[in-house]
Amino acid sequence: MSRPDLSIMSSQEPLFAVRPADVADIPHLAHHRVGMFRDMGKLAPALAEPLARATVSYLRDAMPRGEYLGWIAHDTVTPAAVIGGAGVQLRAIMPRPRPEGDELELGPEAIILNVYVEPEWRRRGVAEAMMRAVLDSLAARGIQRIVLHASDDGRRLYERLGFVPTNEMLLAPRANP
C-alpha cells in the first residue's frame, strides 16, 4: 500500500491538479514561456512582450495541428488559478539506430519545452506531476524518443525521471564580421 504524495495532498484533498491544455490556455502557456526565460536570466526585459506575442501566434497554429501539446497545473481550490505549465513539440526525425543499436527509431521525436511553475508553488511537486503527465501521454502515443534542455534548477528532476546527458552541441552565434 503506497502513501499519498504529501507534497500535493492536504487532508487527502489534492492542492493542485494537472490537465491537458487547450487553445483557451494559450495565454497561460505564453506567460510561462516568458517566465521561464526571465527566471533563467536569458530574457531582456524589452523582449518579454514580443516573446509572449510570438508564442501566442505560434501556439494558435501548432496546437490545433497537434504539433504542440500542452499541460496546465491549477490550484484545486481556485481552478482558474493556473500555477504551472509544460509542453511538448512533436517533430519528425530521420530514421536512426536506437542507442542500443538493436532496432531503428522512426519518430516522431518529442521535445519537452516550457516546464514552468509559478514561484510560490515551487518545491511542492508541481513540476514532477506535470512531467509525469507529459511522459504518460507520450508513452500512450508510442513516442519513445524524448529530449529536453534542462535548466540548472530542473536538472535533478529530469535525472530522477531517467533523462541522461547527450552529445548535443550548439553553434554559438557569430558576430557579424
Residue 93 placed within a domain: yes
Residue type present at position 85:
G
Alpha carbons 65 and 81: distance in angstroms, whole number: 27
In a domain, 168, yes or no: no
Is 167 inside any structural domain? no
How many domains are there within the chain?
Answer: 1
Radius of gyration in angstroms for the set of CA atoms belonging to the chain, rounded to a whole number = 17
Residue 87: inside a domain, yes or no?
A: yes
Alpha-carbon span 35 to 122, nearest angstrom: 13
CATH of the domain at 128: 3.40.630.30
Strand partners for 19 = 72
Ordered per-residue pLDDT tens for the chain, 177 residues: 333 343 444 455 679 999 999 999 999 999 999 999 999 999 999 999 999 999 999 999 999 999 999 999 999 988 679 999 999 999 999 998 887 778 898 889 999 999 999 999 999 999 999 999 999 999 999 998 999 998 888 999 999 999 998 888 878 888 765
Is residue 128 assigned to a domain?
A: yes
The pTM score is: 0.85
The three-state secondary structure class of 45 is helix
If you count them, how many residues does the chain have? 177
Residue 23 lies in a domain: yes
In a domain, 174, yes or no: no
Residue 171 within a domain: no
| Structural domain span for residue 52 | 9-160
